[in-house]
């Protein structure tokens, strides 16, 4: 059965690296306003940042690609879970 690309999914992504104290949450929220996504982003005590977003798969991929591009020099590791 083919996956319906318009069905919303939730993705949780952990970003590790130099992602706190660099405007990561603010910029991610700004990027989110350019995409039809809902969710939140927050700092975690271990120095990583957690993002939870909902949208269709293509939109989520584009949104995460924009974040990765914006913070290419800061993100050391990105771990995603649907």
Instruction: Provide the strand spans (E) within the chain.
Output: 9-17, 38-43, 49-55, 75-81
Point out which residues pair with 77 in neighbouring strands.
Answer: 16
Q: Is residue 79 within 8 Å of residue 10, measured between CB atoms?
A: no
Whether 25 is a known active-site residue: answer yes
Q: Which of 4, 25, 33, 42 is catalytic?
A: 25
Q: Which of 11, 18, 34, 43 is catalytic?
A: 43
What are the helix (H) ranges across 1-82? 24-32, 57-70
Q: Which residues are catalytic?
A: 25, 43
């Amino acid at each position: 059965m083919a996956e319906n690309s318009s069905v919303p999914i939730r993705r949780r992504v952990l970003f590790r690296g130099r992602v706190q104290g660099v405007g990561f949450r603010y910029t991610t929220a700004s990027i989110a306003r350019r995409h039809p996504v809902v969710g939140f982003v927050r700092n975690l005590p271990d120095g990583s940042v957690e993002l939870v977003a909902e949208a269709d798969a293509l939109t989520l991929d584009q949104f995460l690609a924009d974040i990765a591009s914006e913070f290419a020099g800061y993100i050391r590791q990105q771990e995603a879970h649907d």
